[in-house]
Amino acid sequence: MNKGEIKALLRAREEAAIIAAEKARERRIGEDVMWRGVGLLALQLRELPSFESGHIWDVRTVDGALKLYVSRTNPEKPGYLLPGYSELACDAARLKAFVEQLELTQVATPLLFKGSSWLDGTSYSLVRSDGFDSVTFRWWEKGPAEWEALTSNVMGFIGYLKQQNPSA
| pLDDT tens-digit readout, 57-74 | 999 999 999 999 999 999
pLDDT given at position 116: 64
pLDDT given at position 68: 96
pLDDT given at position 145: 85
Pairing of strands 86-89, 65-72: antiparallel
Per-residue pLDDT tens digits of the chain, which is 168 residues long = 899 898 999 999 999 999 999 899 999 999 999 899 999 999 999 999 988 899 999 999 999 999 999 999 999 999 999 999 999 999 999 999 999 999 999 988 766 666 666 668 899 999 998 888 899 999 999 888 889 999 999 999 999 999 987 764
Tally of structural domains, the chain: 1
pLDDT given at position 120: 81
pLDDT given at position 15: 92
Do 45 and 125 meet the contact criterion of CB atoms below 8 Å apart? yes
Report d(CA 56, CA 103) in Å as an integer.
18
Q: Which residues are paired to 102 by β-bridges? A: none
Amino acid at 57: W
Report d(CA 103, CA 99) in Å as an integer.
6
pLDDT given at position 26: 92
Report d(CA 26, CA 28) in Å as an integer.
7
Q: Mind spelling out the 3-state secondary structure of 93-110?
A: HHHHHHHHHHHCCCCCCC
Do 45 and 157 meet the contact criterion of CB atoms below 8 Å apart? yes
Which uninterrupted H or E stretch holds 38?
Answer: none
Report d(CA 77, CA 152) in Å as an integer.
29
Structural domain harbouring 56: 3-166
Do 164 and 68 meet the contact criterion of CB atoms below 8 Å apart? yes
Domain CATH for 101 = 3.30.1560
